[in-house]
Structure 1
Amino acid sequence: MNLNKTLLLPLLAACTLLIAVASQAAAPLVKTQAPGYYRTMLGDFEITALSDGSHPFPIDTVMTHIEASIIKQDLAKADLAQPVQGSINAFLINTGKKLILVDAGAGVLYGDCCNKLLTNLRAAGYRPEQVDEVLLTHLHKDHAGGIMSQGKAVFPNAVLRLSQTESDYWLSASNKAKAPDFLSSFFDAAKAAVAPYQAAQRYQPYKEFGPLDTGIEALPAPGHTPGHAMYRVQSAGQTLLIWGDIVHVTAIQLEHPEATVKYDSSEADAAATRARLLQSLANDHTLIGAAHIAFPGLGRIRQNGKAYDWLPLNYDGTPGTVN
C-alpha cells in the first residue's frame, strides 16, 4: 500500500503540471489594442489625443517629387517596410469652459481600419453630445468623415467650423468638375459631412484666420488643400500647434521635406509650407499635434543637418504640465 502511494503521488503531480501547461497554451489571442486615447495638460487646458485607427498608407502610389529608391532608403533607415501604417489622430481640447474637437477621423469612409474615434472618446470619459465645437483642419475624408453618420450629425450640439476658403472649394460643383477624377468622391464626402450641421444652422466657417476662442487661433497652412488650417492652442504660457496634414509619412518627409503627395492641391505650396514650418518649429520647440504621425501624434521637431527628427512627447502616466 505504501509503495502504491509512493508511485502515485509523483504521477499525480506530473498530470497536474501537464494540465496547467495545456491550460496556459489554450488561452486565445486577444487581438485588440488598449483604448486609443492619451491625455496630457497644456497649462490649464486638458488635451486628449484620440485615435480613429490606422490604415496602410500607399506610399508607392501617393508620394510625389521623390524617387522610389530614396523612399526605399528612407524607410529602411527608419526600419520600416511597405505597407506603412498611417495613424489617423484627432485632438480634444477641454478649456474648462468649452470642449473643442479638432478633426474627427474618417468615420466609415476608410472601412474597417478606422471609425474608432467615438469609442475612444467615450473611453476617455466624454460623450459626443458634450462637444461644443468641431474645428476642421480641412475637408478630406480622413478628417471630416467622422462628423456625420447615416446622414446625422455625430456631434449634435457642436458648431462646425473651418476656413471659408476650404468650405467654398469643396462645396463647389464647378471645382469638382475641374478636379482630378480621384478627388471626385472627396467632394461628395465633404458635402455629405457638413449637410446635417448646415441644416441645424450649426455650420459656421470663419472668413478670416485668427482668434476663434480664448486660447485658440486658426492659422493658414495652404498647399495640401486651398484652405488648410492649423490651430494654435495656448494656455498659461504653453503652446500646442495642431498642424493637420503638414506631414503624412515621417520617415520620408522629415528626411526630404520636398516630398509631396498627389492629394496636395498645390504640391509647391505644400512643400513650401512644410519647409517653413519645420524650420520654425525646430527653432522654438513648440509642441505639435500631428494627424498622421504614430499615435498619439504629440511631439516636437529637432533639426538634424538638412533633415529633421521627430521627438515624441515623453509618456506621463499621471498627466500634469507639459514640459
Structure 2
Amino acid sequence: MVQVPNAQIPGVYHRKIGDIVVTALSDGYLDGTVEVMQNIAPPDAEKILSDAYRPGRRTSVNCYLVYSAGRLALIETGSGDYLLPTAGKLQQNLKAAGVNPADIEAVILTHMHPDHSAGLANPKTGEKFFPNAELIVHQNEPRHWNDDGAMSRADDRAKRLYFAAAREQMAPYHNQMRTFDGAVEVFPGVTSVPLHGHTPGHSGYMIASGGKSLLIWGDIVHVPEVQVPRPEVTMAFDTDPNAAAATRRRIFDQVLADRQLIAGMHVHFPGFAHLVKQGDRYFMLNEPWDQAFGG
C-alpha cells in the first residue's frame, strides 16, 4: 500500500556565496493579526495580504548556518519554547541538516527579540543548546535588555517576552559573550552592518567571498507583502519606529543600487531574494530553488 505523507520535508536549504556555504534553517512560522502594523489601516493591510493570496499575517522565522574557513557559525536561534507551537523547530532542522549543535563555534544575533534569541538555552534548566559557542551581538542589545528603567516603562507582554526572555537566554553565555559596535568582521567572511531602529542594536551581516556577497538583513521587514511596497509601515514592537522606517528605506535603496542578494529572518523560507523597483514602488523577487545551491 502506498504511504501517504503526513509531515513536511525538513526546512533546510543551502546556498553558496563564493567559498562560503550558507544554510537556511526554518524555525517555523508565527501567525498573528494585522493590528501590530502601524501607519496602515487594518483593512488596507488585510486587502494587500488577500491580494497576495495570504490568509493573514504569517511570519516566517529563519536562521542561517555559515560554513566559512573550516568553521561553523549560526545566525539566530529561533523561538525556542517561548512563542507559538508552529515555531521553535530549529533544533530538529539542525538534526535534519546533520549538524551537531556542539560543533557550532559562534552564535551571532541580529538582535534579542524572542523569535531570534529564545533558542539559546533551555529556560527551565538554563542548559545551553550550543555548549561550545561564543555568543556575538551588538553591544546595545544586552545593554538595552538589561536596563531596569527601560523594562519598567514596557508593557507586561514586553517585560515578559522581551526583557525577561532576553535576560534568561543570555545569562548562560555571560562568560562566552562578545559584543561589537559598528561594522566589524565578527566571523571569517562575516561583517556586521548597523541597521538600528527595530531595536537599539539591530544589525545585519554581510557575507562575502570570491567576489560574491549576501546581506542577511535581520528584521528589515516582518511582513514582506506589506512592508516592501509600503516601507513606511512599522511594527508595534519596533523600539524606534521612525528610525526603523528610515533604515528600511535606506537599505532598500542600497540593495537596489548594488543588485545585492539578501536574506531575511522573515522573508518566506528559504529566505533569499532580490529587490526591484517599478516607478516608486519596491517589489521583492524571491530567489528560485537551486538544486546546485549556487555551484
- So what's the TM-score if we normalise by structure 1? 0.87
3-state SS of 1:107 partner: coil
Q: For residues 56-91 of structure 1, what are the alpha-carbon distances to aligned partners after superposition, in whole Å with 9 as ceiling and x for unaligned?
A: 1322x2101111232133113312232x32110001
Q: For residues 288-310 of structure 1, what are the alpha-carbon distances to aligned partners after superposition, in whole Å with 9 as ceiling and x for unaligned?
A: 11101110111111112222111
Contact 2:134 2:173 in 1 (8 A): yes
Partner of residue 195, structure 1: 171
Contact 1:106 1:144 in 2 (8 A): yes
3-state SS of 1:108 partner: coil
Among 186, 190, 201, the residue aligned to 1:216? 190
Runs of 4+ in 1 over 4 A off after TM superposition: none
Contact 1:91 1:289 in 2 (8 A): no
Q: Kindly provide the amino acid, as one letter, of the partner of residue 206 in structure 2.
A: R
Instruction: State the number of aligned residues.
Output: 292
Contact 2:29 2:59 in 1 (8 A): yes
Q: For residues 197-222 of structure 1, what are the alpha-carbon distances to aligned partners after superposition, in whole Å with 9 as ceiling and x for unaligned?
A: 11xx2111124432223311111111
2:248 matches 1:312: no
Displacement after TM superposition at 1:245 (Å): 0.6
2:152 matches 1:152: no
Q: Percent identity?
A: 35
Among 232, 240, 250, the residue aligned to 1:258? 232
Partner of residue 270, structure 1: 244
Q: For residues 22-52 of structure 1, what are the alpha-carbon distances to aligned partners after superposition, in whole Å with 9 as ceiling and x for unaligned?
A: x67xx6x543110001011110001100001
3-state SS of 1:69 partner: helix
Contact 1:90 1:102 in 2 (8 A): yes
Alpha-carbon distance between aligned partners in 2 of 1:208 and 1:42, rounded to the nearest angstrom: 23
3-state SS of 2:267 partner: coil
Q: Kindly provide the amino acid, as one letter, of the partner of residue 31 in structure 2.
A: P
User: Any gaps of 5 or more consecutive residues in structure 1?
Assistant: 1-22
Equivalent runs, 1:204-243 vs 2, <5 Å: 204-243=178-217
- So what's the TM-score if we normalise by structure 2? 0.95
Contact 1:47 1:92 in 2 (8 A): yes
User: Any gaps of 5 or more consecutive residues in structure 2?
Assistant: none
Alpha-carbon distance between aligned partners in 1 of 2:42 and 2:92, rounded to the nearest angstrom: 38
Larger-gyration structure (1/2)? 1
Root-mean-square deviation (CA), in Å?
Answer: 1.5
Among 10, 20, 27, the residue aligned to 1:52? 27
**Which has more helix, going by share of residues?**
1
Displacement after TM superposition at 1:320 (Å): 3.5
